[in-house]
Amino acid sequence: MSKLVPPHGGKGLVCSLLEGAAREAEVKKAAGLKKVEISPRVRGDLIMMGIGGFSPLNGFMTKADWKNVCEKFTLADGTFWPVPVTLDANKDEAGAISVNDEIALVFKDEIYATMKVTEKYALTAAEKKWECETIFKGAGEDSSDSKFWQVAEKDHPGVKMVMEQKEFNLAGPVKVLSEGRYPKDYAGVYMRPSVLRAELDKRGWSTVAALQLRNPMHRSHEYLAKIAVEVCDGVVIHSLIGNLKPGDIPAEVRVPAINKLVELYFVKDHVIQAGYPLDMRYAGPREALLHALFRQNFGMNRLIVGRDHAGVGDFYGMFEAQDIFNRIPVTGNPAKDLLCQPLKIDWTFYCTKCDGMASLRTCPHGKDDRVILSGTKLRKMLSDGSAIPDHFGRDEVLDILREYYASLTEKVEVKMQGAASGAKM
């Protein structure tokens, strides 16, 4: 018997990925279906539905689901869900499609899935704005009523993504035909939930923490992971291997950097490195909830949540992603409620007077004694060619990152927000 937390939704892992003869037959059928071109975000969502990472979803949301998720944090049937998972189509595509039609979903000439359309609905500009305000607007300076719409469409990648969506959404169940490049390009790191759960069961783990990563690991990430190892059976360093915003460090660089850190500075019996295929939405608190939900499907019952989890710019309060877990609906039905809980950790840094890693809860010294650590700050220093302060990162990791930045012919300006710079400490 597994000791792990059950998948979200009470139905086990809901996997829409076809394999073997069933896949071959569906691929042949898909060639003759009407085709809808999908975005990179939709591709990632499809793969997650395929492998069971988005259980209990087996398709894209209806308008009732979309509205409930934005307004109440639940699907229309009351099952917890924090972020819309929708499929957009333009006017011509939607006009050529009727309810009950089967369609093929295509990304860069590859058919990723087929879908039976059960509903199509328009989203007005006002409805898209409402979605952005409910999902992406936080308690930070950039989210104030006077500022949000002045800066969000330019500086918030998630808001830009929603506002640029096509005019219609299509809802319905999917049959997923491809996992894209992930199994080949990230062999040994990319794991389906069933594979990761089997490894966790093999190790006999029951209390498992996830460290969400979209950056290479600096000393603060390392410290967070080791705190989790002390209080759980083990930690899964679970990094995003989908798309990021311009200026972020790609997965093909981050994975070797994390491998090096794990190899040299962790007890291997208590850590696993894995990856998942989503694109970042940069939804801050809402995305922290999504991160917890799909980690439950992967077998983890704790999510490490530190400062500005999944944030961007100054849109979110520093610990807003921790606080939101106290405000989500709870029905008492484990099939409908979120079972993966946050492991809340204060702002961490290296203190020269403490002579080690510390947090605001453990370090009595002043700001001048602290090396403020953040992924944004690290990217900024590497991009500018600035010297990296002592104790910011492990030398073996920094060597990999310096080599990557030296290879770039064009660099994206990295903007520093208040929290990442330490200005708000």
Which residues participate in catalysis according to the annotation? 214-215
**Cβ-contact 401, 253 below 8 angstroms:** yes
Site of tokens 């460290």: 211
**Cβ-contact 15, 56 below 8 angstroms:** no
Residue 165 backbone dihedrals phi, psi, to 5 degrees: -60, 155
- Regarding beta strands 110-116 and 102-107, do their DSSP bridges make them parallel or antiparallel, or are they unpaired? antiparallel
- Regarding beta strands 348-351 and 370-372, do their DSSP bridges make them parallel or antiparallel, or are they unpaired? antiparallel
Of 83, 1, 11, the closest CA to residue 297 belongs to 11
Q: Could you give the CA distance from residue 60 to residue 171 in angstroms, rounded to a whole number?
A: 5
Sequence letter at residue 254: R
**Cβ-contact 131, 84 below 8 angstroms:** yes
- Regarding beta strands 87-89 and 119-122, do their DSSP bridges make them parallel or antiparallel, or are they unpaired? unpaired
